Structure 1
Amino acid sequence: MKISASVKSAFQLHEVTVETENKVKPISISPKPEGFGSSINGGELLFLSLATCFCNDLYREASKRNMKIDSVQVIVSGEFGSEGEPAKNITYEVDVKANDHSDAEIWDLIKTVDKLAEIHNTLRQGINVELKKSRL
């Protein structure tokens, strides 16, 4: 599955799109109040990626088990230090409401998804990020 993300930024302009398998979706993120850059920082988006991945994977795996999920809340937090330092102490909490299922069934689903979540596994393994000369 080919995925990409794009940011186009100028004064009072901040256009964000994501794309999966040639399906482009815009995301509304306003520019900073001073007009340049994003009002949301990369750390916030990274943590949102973790929360989104877990949430989507939870629904996927619940469906495989014929579990009806009523609601999910995922909260990801961590710390960033000085410029250039990677994040540390990243943790997340998950609250799943599934009235037709026991706490043990829900916890088993959560633990399974924790092992399968692709964004989590990418960060846990570490991966090279390569700068390429612009083709734009």
Structure 2
Amino acid sequence: MEQFAVVVGAGSLRSDDEHAVRFPHRWTPEGVTVETDFTGAHLLHLAAAGCVLNDLYREATGVGVQLDGVRVTASGAFDTTTWTSTGITYRVELDSTASTEDRARLLDRVDQVAEIPRAIRAGAPVRRR
């Protein structure tokens, strides 16, 4: 089963792949990089990964964690008979001098507050107008 993986990076963990797309970013002067294909499945996973990356920077200031770099990889599969998502898994890499405990607190906080993962977990109606 294909996993539809996406990778977003910022700071010291930005991609140097020539095919990575670069975007400006509110919290990092160099912007973010995105490595993904352009399919609906990839874009769904990109929404989750991008939200987690953004919220890591937003929440880090509140808990006193300096982030030098962030990389979030999100992937998941789909049941190809119904094209229903079987779920999304994400992994975070942090470049930070913060303690292991402070990093863990930050990751736990972001897992609780990240808006897109929360919306996906809760389920949201999507309607055509």
Q: TM-score range by the shorter chain?
A: 0.5 to 0.7
The equivalent residue for 1:110 is: 107
SS class of match (1:47): helix
Equivalent pair of 2:65/2:102 in contact (CA under 8 Å) = no
- For residues 124 and 48 of structure 1, do their structure 2 counterparts lie closer, same or farther at Cα, with a shift above 3 Å needed? same
Q: CA offset at residue 75 of structure 1? A: 0.7
Runs of 4+ in 1 over 2 A off after TM superposition: none
- Aligned-pair Cα RMSD in Å: 1.7
Q: CA offset at residue 84 of structure 1? A: 3.8
Match of 1:53, as an amino acid? C
Q: Deviations over 1:22-51 (max 9, x none)?
A: xxx9xxxxxxxxxxxxx6101101111111
Aligned pairs for 1:86-125 (under 5 A) are 86-99=84-97, 101-125=98-122
Aligned pairs for 1:71-90 (under 5 A) are 71-82=69-80, 84-90=82-88
The equivalent residue for 2:59 is: 61
The range that moved more, 83-92 or 117-126, is 83-92
Question: Structure with the greater relative contact order (CA < 8 A, sep ≥ 6): 1 or 2?
Answer: 2
TM-score (norm 2): 0.68
Aligned pairs for 1:28-39 (under 5 A) are none
Counterpart CA distance in 2 for 1:66 and 1:90 is: 29
Higher CA-based Rg? 1
Q: CA offset at residue 83 of structure 1? A: 5.4
SS class of match (1:78): strand
Size of the aligned set, in residue pairs, is 94
- Aligned-pair identity in percent equals 35
Tell me, which stretches of 5 or more residues in structure 1 are unaligned? 1-24, 26-38
Q: Deviations over 1:60-115 (max 9, x none)?
A: 0001223210111111111012254211142111111211x101100110010000
Q: CA offset at residue 54 of structure 1? A: 0.1
TM-score (norm 1): 0.64
